[in-house]
């Protein structure tokens, strides 16, 4: 059987920060179940914000030739997408939101051109969201969750769950949480088990 392909998308500007550490554990858990894992770091990529040129309405392709072209390819090939972003000003990080907006061409494929948003890549994709915020506001994750669910829905990726932690601010503070990293590892294992079991 082919290994489950898990794509990690690190959306924080901070390397080895809290969402990075959680993402690494999810990917480690997935790998422990035989998954093929690959993580991309958005902050290291050149992703120009969507210019709303509407070129994608013609054929569903983005005319901006930057690193997002590689991201489209990876999204197409992935079985499971694990997106990690810290909360910044009550929403996704700018790095993550830029990537999300550049998925407008995939929205155009689905809703305008009526073609599958991620081409002939693996079907029945699953998506998982990781986030952390420094405060403990009740509505801390509402904005980010709305956007991530809209993204996954547009890309025909089934929302498979989330790991959200409030009150985690300093770099690496997540390591002081009683069970966050363990939960992340187990979430990675479960994502692969569930995908392979369906």
Ligand X SMILES: Cc1cc2nc3c(=O)[nH]c(=O)nc-3n(C[C@H](O)[C@H](O)[C@H](O)COP(=O)(O)O)c2cc1C
Residues making contact with ligand X (CB under 6 A): 12, 14, 17-20, 86-90, 132-135, 140, 168-169, 171
Do 10 and 42 contact (CB within 8 A), yes or no? Answer: yes
Our CB check for ligand X shows the closer of 93 and 154 to be: 93
Least gap, CB of 163 to ligand X (angstroms) = 12
Residue nearest to ligand X (CB): 17
Least gap, CB of 185 to ligand X (angstroms) = 17
Q: How do strand 80-86 and strand 36-41 relate by DSSP bridges?
A: unpaired
Our CB check for ligand X shows the closer of 20 and 76 to be: 20
How far apart are alpha carbons 187 and 128 in whole angstroms? 9
Put the strands of the sheet holding 5-10 in their side by side order: 36-41, 5-10, 80-86, 125-132, 157-165
Using the Cα atoms of residue 129, residue 159, residue 124 and residue 187 in order, give the sign of their dihedral.
Answer: positive
Least gap, CB of 99 to ligand X (angstroms) = 16
Our CB check for ligand X shows the closer of 89 and 178 to be: 89
Least gap, CB of 144 to ligand X (angstroms) = 10
Least gap, CB of 88 to ligand X (angstroms) = 4
Our CB check for ligand X shows the closer of 71 and 144 to be: 144
Our CB check for ligand X shows the closer of 29 and 133 to be: 133
Residues near 68 by beta carbon (within 8 Å), at least 6 away in sequence? 45, 47, 48, 62, 99, 102
Q: How do strand 36-41 and strand 125-132 relate by DSSP bridges?
A: unpaired
């Amino acid at each position: 059987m082919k290994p489950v392909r898990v794509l990690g998308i690190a959306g924080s500007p901070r390397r080895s920060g809290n969402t990075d550490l959680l993402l690494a554990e999810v990917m480690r858990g997935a790998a422990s179940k035989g998954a093929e894992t690959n993580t991309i770091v958005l902050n290291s990529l050149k992703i120009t914000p969507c210019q709303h040129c509407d070129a994608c309405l013609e054929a569903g392709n983005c005319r901006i030739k930057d690193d997002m072209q590689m991201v489209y390819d990876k999204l197409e090939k992935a079985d499971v997408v694990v997106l990690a972003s810290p909360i910044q000003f009550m929403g996704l990080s700018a790095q993550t939101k830029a990537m999300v907006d550049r998925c407008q061409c995939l929205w155009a494929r689905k809703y305008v051109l009526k073609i599958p948003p991620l081409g002939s890549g693996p079907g029945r994709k699953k998506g998982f969201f990781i986030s952390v915020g420094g405060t403990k506001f009740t509505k801390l994750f509402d904005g980010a969750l709305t956007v991530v669910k809209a993204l996954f829905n547009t890309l025909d990726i089934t929302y498979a769950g989330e790991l959200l932690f409030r009150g985690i601010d300093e770099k690496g503070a997540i390591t002081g949480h009683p069970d966050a990293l363990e939960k992340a590892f187990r979430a990675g294992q479960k994502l692969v088990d569930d995908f392979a079991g369906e």
